[in-house]
Amino acid sequence: MAVGISPTVGLAGPLRLLREAPTLPGAPVLGDEERPVREGEERLIRCAACGLGLAQVTARVQIGGRHAHVFANPAGLVFEIGCFRGVFGARGEGPFMAEFSWFPGHSWQVAICRSCEAHLGWRFSSLEGFRFWGLILSRLAEY
């Protein structure tokens, strides 16, 4: 039986969270800062490199009980990612891979900006069809 992960299921597997919170206790997570929104204006998460709109601010989701996660890849590089659904400004590149997935039951592929092709993170997909994006928070901007 294939095991998927839903937004309310905890994480398990060989790679675990390296820390439970953002960089420092009380440090803002992307989007914690508020700014006035003009009437009719849509707040977007954007590519920090080129400014392309990637997703609505409301596209943030919790996977395993939280939006932000910190993981290390097999090469030892550490990434703080945020989980999103409904991403329209990025695309998956290359084949889906099951090896070294940070989310059990999900395969991953690299996610790049549709405009500048910057590496933004990864797209995850389960056998059951549940998909979400894990985007590297330091490569995102909110306008």
Q: What is the DSSP string of 33-67?
A: S-----TTPPPEEEETTT--EEEEGGGB--BTTBS
* Res 142: pLDDT: 86
Q: How many CA atoms lie within 13 A of 62 on its CB side?
A: 6
Strands (E) located in the chain: 44-47, 53-56, 68-72, 78-84, 90-97, 106-113, 119-126, 131-136, 140-142
Q: Which amino acid makes up residue 57?
A: V
Higher pLDDT, 100 or 29: 100
Q: b/e string for 132-142 if b means 16 or more Cβ within 10 A?
A: bbbbbbebbee
- Is the predicted pLDDT of residue 131 greater than 90, yes or no? yes
- CA–CA–CA angle 124, 128, 132 (5° rounding): 25
Span 70-93, average pLDDT: 96
Span 63-88, average pLDDT: 96
* Domain presence at residue 126: yes
- Identify the CATH number of the domain in which residue 127 sits: 2.170.150.20
- Is the predicted pLDDT of residue 22 greater than 70, yes or no? no
* Domain presence at residue 51: no
Could you list the residue range(s) of the whole structural domain that residue 127 is in? 60-142
* Domain presence at residue 111: yes
Structure token pair of residue 137: 């928070």
As for how many domains the chain has, the answer is: 1
* Domain presence at residue 114: yes
Please state the length of the chain: 143
pLDDT (tens digit per residue) in 34-66: 444 455 557 999 999 999 999 999 999 999 999
* Res 4: pLDDT: 40
- Is the predicted pLDDT of residue 8 greater than 60, yes or no? no
